[in-house]
Amino acid sequence: MINSNILNRVKQAMQGTSKVRPAWQRAGGRCKPASRRPESPPKLAPETAMRPIKENGRFRYKPVKRMSVALRPASKMGGNAGTTSRPRLWREDFLYAEEDEHMEEKQYLMLPGPTPVPPRLLRAMAKPMINHRGPEFKALHEEVIEGLKEIFRTKNDVFIYTAAGTGAMEAAVANFVSPGDKVLVVSIGVFGNRFASIAERFGAQVEKLDFTWGTAADPEALAERIKADEKKEIKAVFVTHNETSTGVTNDLKALRAALGDHPALFIVDSVSGLGAMELETDLWNLDVVVAGSQKSFMIPPGLSFIAVGPRAWEARAKCRNACFYWDIEAARKSAEKGQTPFTPAIPQIMALAEALEMIRAEGLDNIFARHRRLREMTRRGIKAMGLKPLAADEVASAAVTAVLAPDGIEANAIRKVLLKEFNVVVAGGQQSLDNKIFRIGHLGYVGDLEIIAVLAALEMVLNRCGFKVELGKGVKAAQEVSLAALSGEGRA
């Protein structure tokens, strides 16, 4: 028997009174007959653009308001910035690489951290979970601690915190500095200042020895200040090994020598330096050194490391500061059992074991040489384009290069176009350097071809933004450095 509702619908259709929309209308216009399509797309206002929008697994185009890329007034441009008449760049004119479902795995992550993670390490993180109080973890923990000692170049105690690098920095203050202690912080940028802020929070009397951002600390200036401390009131000196905010590396060996026989602890932040450039904990008499997982170790964020020498343990016995999570005594007691005081980030520690194997296979000396080569490729490339690095060659970081934006173009505009057009991620300036510099990371799981590709993208972006660059000039300069290293004709 035929349903009466169906009969009524058929009757309405025959009489032309049906309320059911045609199929092409129900499909949102995608199946609309060709004869009903407009012969040409509608004209759009200059401030409007068609943007691809993904809905229900399909792309369709929708009119959206354009957003202008921030550029300084043309009248303020100088150098190669071009004439005052120039096309206006709109954000909506750029390719939407991030909307392509395949592009997210092709991103060039050129940061000083987090750094790209090798597939081998990602697979290690996907291993089944284990008991952090069981024999499997004990064996894993002992393995990675021995591996870390090789990187730190130390026979001292090394501990792992489940924390960002700043967590280990805080542990380096909380465990060895008492309220009221006088400490000296040698600062050349953001992270030197961070050490000072942490020490102030824990009640220390903080004195800063500041140096101009973009320059390295002067060992002679430190030696003069230490010499003036005749009563030996300074209990600790805090130093940044590699200042990622400016792309500058301090000479740790010379700075430690500047203390002479002064009893102050020498405490080092090497979060972005350890594993990418030379550091000798025992040979240089460094009392405390901290590092992090998301830099040269190529692991996702979540682990920080701290090496503690004998003089630091003596200071710990006298320390009056209270701490719980950061308590280094608790870490030492747990380490005796092959454990950590609190639940560790087991996947990251599994990745750490693989990372240490990769580091051993390449060899630390080869890793240091690779980072120096990448630094040289980057710096020669940007100089060939007519850009200027913030740091001088003799103090330049092997982990990151800070680049001054050309006159008339904002650094953040360059970063935005790099991301939108080419899926290249570079870091911006921090605090007083915001929008004045951009920073290209060449740290960890990075090779020559990544640098060449990023420099090629940067050349095109600079031209898009009005700074005329001869295409291939920067790329060629970088290639020459790489080729010389391959042929053994030079050392980067």
Of 240, 245, 249, nearest to 291 by C-alpha is: 240
- Domain(s) labelled CATH 3.90.1150.10 in the chain stretch across 45-112+363-492
- Give pLDDT < 70 ranges for the chain: 1-105, 489-492
pLDDT of 106 reads 79
The architecture (CATH level 2) of 123-361 comes to 3-Layer(aba) Sandwich (3.40)
Q: Structure tokens of 357?
A: 């194997």
Q: 384-417: per-residue pLDDT in tens?
A: 999 999 999 999 999 999 999 999 999 999 999 9
Of 379, 387, 374, nearest to 447 by C-alpha is: 374
pTM of the model: 0.80
Q: Which residues contact 168 (CB under 8 A, 6 or more apart)?
A: 161, 271, 290, 291, 292, 304, 305, 306
pLDDT of 488 reads 81
| CA diameter of the chain | 108
Q: Structure tokens of 25?
A: 């209308």
Strands 234-240 and 265-269: parallel
Q: 163-203: per-residue pLDDT in tens?
A: 999 999 999 999 999 999 999 999 999 999 999 999 999 99
Q: Which residues contact 120 (CB under 8 A, 6 or more apart)?
A: 354, 358
- Domain(s) labelled CATH 3.40.640.10 in the chain stretch across 123-361
DSSP 308: E
Q: 65-102: per-residue pLDDT in tens?
A: 555 555 544 434 344 444 444 445 554 444 444 444 45
The architecture (CATH level 2) of 45-112+363-492 comes to Alpha-Beta Complex (3.90)
